[in-house]
Structure formats: C-alpha cells, structure tokens
Amino acid sequence: MTSPEPKPDALQGCLARYRHQQFTGKVGVTAPPHEGDRERQWSLYFCLGRPFWVEDHQASNRRLSAHLSACCPQLKQRRFALRAGDSFECQNYNLLFILLQRKAITQEQFCQLVESVLAELWFDIFQRGAGRSLTFAETPYDPLDILKIASLPVNGDRALAQAERDWLQWQEAGLADLMAGDALEIADAAQLEAKVGAAVYQKLAAAIDGKRTVRELATLMNKPAAAILKSLAPYVRRGILSLSPVADLPDLVVLSTSGPPREASSPSDRRQRPPNGPIATIACIDDSPQVCALMEELLTTAGYRPLCIQDSTRALTALLEHKPSLVFLDLIMPVANGYEICAQIRRIATFKDMPIVILTGNDGIIDRVRARVVGATDFIGKPVEADKIKAVLDKYLVAEAASPLVARSTGAQGMAPQGP
C-alpha cells in the first residue's frame, strides 16, 4: 500500500485558497478508488471562507447520533420531526441549528457538536485521501442565504488542528491502513479466546459485535480510538478480527408535510372566513410592536389570520410552521434585516412564488433595486395605512376578505402602494 503523505497538502492548500477568496458555498471532494477501497465523497460547506460543516455521504446520521449521545445526554430522542420547509441541503447541520433555536441544546453544546463532527471528518479526508489525487467541485452560494445559520462561533481551525494531530498519531501507531469509522467483528472466536484468555474474551465479545465502529467502541470504553485499535491491530492483521464498513442509521430528521394544527374557535374570535376558501394566514415581520399591533387588527378585521413576528431571527421558523399566503416585511431590523430575511425566504422552495411586500420608510430607488435583487414582490411606504394594505391583499390574493378594512393609520399620510 502506498504510504500516506505526512501532511494533507492538497486539502490544506484548497482550504487556504477558499479562506483567501472568502468563498461561500459547497465544495464536493472526491477521493477515487484506491487499492481495494471504494470511491469516497464528502461535501464541505463554507461561509465567507470559513468551513462550517462537512457531510460524508456514508455515515453522517450514525456519526451525529453518536455525538448527540455523548454531548447532549438530555436529548433522549434520536429522531426529530421537522416541517418540510425546514429542510436544508446540510440536513443534519440544520437539525442542530433548529435544536439550538428551540433551546433543546445550548450554544456551547452546538459548537462542541459541530467541532467534534468536523474534526472526525477532516481526519477521514486526510486518511482516505492519502495517496490519492483529490478532486474538488465548487458550487457558490449567496452569503445572505446561509449567513444566519453559519454565523455561530464554531472554531473550525481548532477542529482542523485536532484532526491533524489525530492523523499524525494514527500514522505513528502504524494504523494508516485501518479505518476508525469501520466496525470490528470477531472472525475467529476460538483463536481469539486462545490468544487473550476466557475472561478477556468475554469482555471483547460483549463489545465487539460487528455493529460498533472503532470510534463508538472508544466512547464506550472511554479510551482513545488509536489506543484501542493499536492493541487489536495484530488480531486484525492475522484475520482473527475483521474491520468492515458499517451501514448508516436512518435519517435523524423526519420531514412532515402536514400543515399547522387547526385553532379552536371561540365567541371572541373576530376572524371571518373569506367566502372562497379557508382563512389565509398573512405574516408581518417587523420589530415595531406598534406596527405589529396595527397590522394584527387590520388583518383580523379583513378576515385573515395574522402572524406577527417581531424577532427577525425567528422569522423563518415561524413562516415554515404556519406557511402564510403573503408576507409584509420591514427592511430595517436588528440582527437580521429585511434583505437577509427576504433572500432566505426565497431559498425555500415552498415560498418561491409567495408574495413578499416590503414595508419601508425610506422608499429610495436603491432600496427598491436591492430588495428586487433578493426577491421582493412589491413595496409599501410607511406609515402603514388600511387602504394600502387592502390594495396589496386584493392585488395578490385570490380570495377577498369578508369584511372591509377599517380606515386607520399610524400617522400622517404615506405614499400610495406602488407596483413593481
């Protein structure tokens, strides 16, 4: 077997180049078949030159499940229901982000999980890519589309440095041809018992069942993976133990296509069902409590179900949960502004054609052009007024409201609604 290079120069060079270019997007890495080992593929995800996730396409669910067990013992479940609109290309990373948003895990646990997964997969790329010519295929993304989910303080450089140290130790232990992600199985029980004795054999037989990877055994025994495999490597090389790839677990994410639960009606519920169909949900994303309160009253009186969102960081989660028919979106908000939110909405197939109407107090041409670029449908100048809202609803929604909007406004006369 060709000896692995002591330093993964090809990968390091590409990482340095992506960092220098501030690259945002996906990089597909392929290691061709080599000396009996099949082709290997990984997807590396970058945001502004910083790698924030890696998928391995072989055992990603198994890997994340193991790390969730180790880092987040408070999470008892191992499969999670998300709405179809919550799905993102890096599904497991997106799962961690949503668990963080729901406060099921802490930010410290999130960072620990991501760094642990990164370190393992950098190690695997170093090992699988040793002696092979890696190929890289780049798919650029718009930074605005992933900046929110990729902006957490994960230390990718620390994970990379850890992987380099682990790979060096692995080589020094003479294990370069043995894979930490493969499962150990007893191939010759009689020989193994004769070599190690009955007592040790019983312990090994309980742990080595052909279903646990070397890394999973290391976690179970609370020992470094290199130390465990180094002690067992002689038996592997003699055919007493075998190492083989292990199947991945089912997806950790179960996507639900069902809509939001029906709300119980009450005598005080002022919503009215439009004559041509069910109540449509209309969202308003604005950090102003006054604007949200006014929009809620206007939309309710018009016969729609209002969905008012003041925290822009939770906007996508709320939209995906309730799936509105139209969104009113403020441009100027803290943390995530209207341009970022609009771009994120348009990346979700469910909302590809949903009208997004910008609420703006500064109706300049630059704002309009920039909003158009990220997918806005129309604009309304502030202050919010009933006739403007009604005009938009009539323009973009097929079903008309059962009762007219009352004439109200937040202040002085604003500009009339304008088309694209």
Provide the domain count of the chain. Answer: 3
Same domain, 152 and 168: yes
Q: From 154, 177, 200, give the residue that closes a domain.
A: 177
Same domain, 164 and 15: yes
Same domain, 121 and 208: no
- Is 129's pLDDT higher than 80? no
Same domain, 298 and 156: no
Q: What is the pLDDT of residue 398?
A: 52
Assess if residue 418 is contained within a domain. no
337-367: pLDDT as tens digits = 888 899 989 988 889 889 999 988 776 677 7
| Cα-to-chain-centroid distance, residue 176 | 32
Same domain, 154 and 57: yes
Listed in sequence order, the DSSP H helices in 130-188 are 143-146, 156-172
Same domain, 66 and 150: yes
Same domain, 165 and 28: yes
The arithmetic mean of pLDDT across residues 209-222, rounded, is 89
Structural domain harbouring 213:
183-244
Same domain, 198 and 170: no
Assess if residue 152 is contained within a domain. yes
Q: What is the pLDDT of residue 88?
A: 59
Same domain, 231 and 139: no
Assess if residue 404 is contained within a domain. no
Same domain, 29 and 146: yes
Same domain, 228 and 275: no
Q: What is the pLDDT of residue 409?
A: 35
Assess if residue 3 is contained within a domain. no
Does residue 372 or residue 229 have the better pLDDT? 229
387-418: pLDDT as tens digits = 889 889 988 885 433 333 333 333 333 333 34
Question: Would you place residue 87 in the very low, low, confident or very high pLDDT band (cuts 50, 70, 90)?
Answer: low
Same domain, 151 and 190: no
